[in-house]
């Protein structure tokens, strides 16, 4: 008796999905809710769990195939039909999930602020688990017998043959060893960056993530342990070694998400007439207010108070005054929504995603902070639903979180505008003090608004930006805390 597992509905706007990686093979046993495979859509990547317990009898859809919702993906039975085949493939079947689990995990390694557009590191996940490589351990069992005889050219023996011969013999215990060392597993760029900042040697760590993956928490724990060991503070610190990315010198296939991002970016630039306006904003009062309330805010709201909620609140208020920035184009008509749904750009290993804060016009600073933090964390952990990525009317991208002064972000259709916020930095500026010019140290930030010139004029963009600027420079947010 067998049962088919179909591609489930993954959101109202999702009609198909692409099988990116199988986590199980024919003959493997599965439990209820155990992940079977990974599916990629134009909205989100997700795992499909098994609704039943049993044994994989037949895989019906291969990797890189795109199928519609409701299509049968795999057949699971009680194991009576495929019991003889499982023992023969047991060794390679046990090794593959361990390697795939390493590539699959996307730890929430984030900085306080969000939104920098960086190249996706999704593709290495596909490279880490190439399906065609799985049959190799079977012929490798015959080669160990021949290898001692043909070992005359000793330079070739340690090169590739030796590891392959060892893998089938060691089975499960051996698969955990390479996964726990940094030389065997892929380390995310965010973890590498954190390790560099903290002066932590990644090769000395044992990861606690899935498959032995080194996570942000492992680096922080090692940094704290090093600080508590009482190392000499007088010795000059050596510069951190430059970490070389494992992508260097490789060729990888674009993920489905990266393809979608690329197609939409090109479509947006070819369809709309885009340009960018920039203003400089003095956020000294916001910085002072934030420093004053952030401890109480964190205690009561359960989230850190960064500058991003202030930018989001000020932008949302300005959208109410200038709804053309929040509008969409439908043929030869302009549609003005009666709500403000703010898409927030989040940098992930898979690429740039934009979860949506719904009905932002009614939010307080506390609500913005908690919702953005929650959406960002679940985006990086790949736990969002496709509907949480849909419905945005305006986008906010915080490129300053990665140190950028400002940039000219691309508007993604059907929206007509996106606001980029640069890094908040202190600098000397000219201020008016009692009617006279003076030099003062102020906290400033650049705000860059890219917009679709088909319906948004430069004057509209300037009016919107000036209202946001005046709101932030006023610094009166005591009534908007929400705690």
pLDDT in tens, 132-191: 444 444 444 444 444 444 444 444 444 444 444 444 444 433 333 333 333 335 577 778
Residue 356 and residue 389 in contact, taking contact as beta carbons nearer than 8 Å: yes
Identify the residue with better confidence: 103 or 37. 37
> What is the residue whose two structure tokens read 């010139």?
453
pLDDT surpasses 90 at 335 = yes
Mean pLDDT of 384-403: 91
> What is the residue whose two structure tokens read 């109410």?
320
Mean pLDDT of 301-310: 94
pLDDT confidence tier of residue 401, bands split at 50, 70 and 90: confident
Distance CA 182, CA 135 (A): 26
pLDDT surpasses 80 at 323 = yes
- Tens of pLDDT, residue by residue over 409-439, are 999 999 999 999 999 999 999 998 888 999 9
Mean pLDDT of 396-412: 92
Distance CA 439, CA 462 (A): 27
pLDDT surpasses 80 at 3 = yes
The CATH code of domain 256-480 reads: 3.30.559.10
Identify the residue with better confidence: 309 or 82. 309
Instruction: Enumerate the CATH 2.40.50.100 domain ranges in the chain, comma separated.
Output: 2-105+123-180
pLDDT confidence tier of residue 74, bands split at 50, 70 and 90: very high
Clarify whether 339 is annotated catalytic. Answer: no
pLDDT surpasses 90 at 196 = no
Mean pLDDT of 96-119: 40
pLDDT confidence tier of residue 450, bands split at 50, 70 and 90: very high
The CATH code of domain 2-105+123-180 reads: 2.40.50.100
pLDDT confidence tier of residue 472, bands split at 50, 70 and 90: very high
- Tens of pLDDT, residue by residue over 247-288, are 899 998 888 888 888 999 999 999 999 999 999 999 999 999
Give the least confident one: 244-253, 302-311, 339-348, 369-378: 244-253
The residue from 176, 291, 362, 457 that is catalytic is 457
pTM of the prediction?
0.60
- Tens of pLDDT, residue by residue over 197-252, are 888 888 888 877 766 778 888 888 888 887 766 544 455 667 778 888 888 999 98
The residue from 64, 78, 387, 453 that is catalytic is 453
Give the least confident one: 53-57, 220-224, 334-338, 341-345: 220-224
Clarify whether 457 is annotated catalytic. Answer: yes
- Report pLDDT for 239: 78
Distance CA 426, CA 443 (A): 4
Integer Rg of the chain from CA: 27
- Report pLDDT for 158: 41
Residue 109 and residue 380 in contact, taking contact as beta carbons nearer than 8 Å: yes
Question: How confident is the prediction for the chain on average, in pLDDT?
Answer: 79
- Tens of pLDDT, residue by residue over 359-377, are 999 999 999 999 999 999 9
């Amino acid at each position: 008796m067998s049962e088919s597992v179909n591609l489930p509905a993954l959101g109202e706007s999702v009609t198909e999905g692409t099988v990116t990686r199988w986590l199980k093979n024919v003959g493997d046993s599965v439990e209820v809710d155990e992940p079977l495979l990974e599916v990629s859509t134009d909205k989100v990547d997700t795992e499909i769990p098994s609704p039943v317990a049993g044994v994989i009898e037949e895989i019906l859809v291969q990797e890189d195939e795109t199928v519609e919702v409701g299509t049968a993906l795999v057949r699971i039975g009680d194991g009576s039909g495929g019991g003889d085949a499982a023992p023969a493939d047991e060794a390679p079947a046990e090794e593959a999930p361990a390697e795939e689990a390493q590539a699959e995990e996307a730890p929430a390694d984030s900085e306080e602020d969000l939104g920098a557009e960086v190249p996706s590191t999704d593709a290495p996940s596909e490279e880490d688990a190439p399906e065609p490589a799985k049959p190799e351990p079977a012929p490798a069992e015959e080669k160990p017998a021949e290898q001692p005889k043909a070992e005359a050219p000793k330079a070739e023996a340690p090169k590739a043959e030796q590891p392959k011969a060892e893998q089938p013999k060691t089975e499960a215990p051996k698969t955990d060893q390479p996964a726990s060392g940094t030389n065997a597993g892929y380390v995310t760029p965010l973890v590498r960056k954190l390790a560099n900042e903290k002066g932590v040697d990644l090769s000395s760590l044992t990861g606690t993530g899935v498959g032995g993956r080194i996570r942000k928490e492992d680096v922080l724990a090692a940094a704290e342990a090093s600080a508590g060991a009482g190392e000499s503070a007088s010795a000059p610190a050596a510069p951190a070694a430059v970490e070389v990315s494992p992508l260097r010198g490789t060729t990888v296939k674009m993920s489905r998400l990266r393809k979608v991002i690329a197609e939409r970016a090109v479509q947006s630039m070819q369809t709309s007439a885009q340009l960018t306006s920039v203003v400089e904003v003095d956020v000294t009062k916001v910085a002072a207010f934030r420093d004053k309330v952030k401890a109480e805010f964190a205690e009561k709201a359960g989230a850190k108070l960064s500058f991003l909620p202030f930018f989001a609140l000020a932008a949302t208020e300005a959208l109410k005054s200038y709804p053309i920035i929040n509008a969409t184009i439908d043929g030869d008509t302009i549609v003005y929504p009666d709500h403000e749904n703010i898409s927030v750009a989040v940098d992930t290993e898979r690429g740039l995603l934009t979860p949506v804060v719904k009905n932002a016009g009614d939010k307080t600073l506390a609500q913005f902070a908690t919702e953005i933090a929650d959406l960002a964390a679940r985006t990086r952990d790949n736990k969002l639903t496709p509907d949480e990525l849909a419905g945005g009317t305006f986008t906010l991208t915080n490129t300053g979180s990665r140190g950028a002064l400002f940039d000219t972000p691309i508007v993604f259709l059907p929206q007509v505008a996106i606001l980029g916020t640069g890094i908040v930095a202190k600098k000397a500026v000219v201020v008016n003090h009692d009617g006279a010019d003076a030099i003062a140290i102020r906290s400033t930030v650049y705000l860059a608004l890219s917009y679709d010139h088909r319906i948004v004029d430069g004057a509209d963009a300037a009016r919107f930006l000036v209202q946001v600027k005046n709101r932030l420079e006023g610094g009166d947010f005591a009534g908007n805390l929400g705690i």
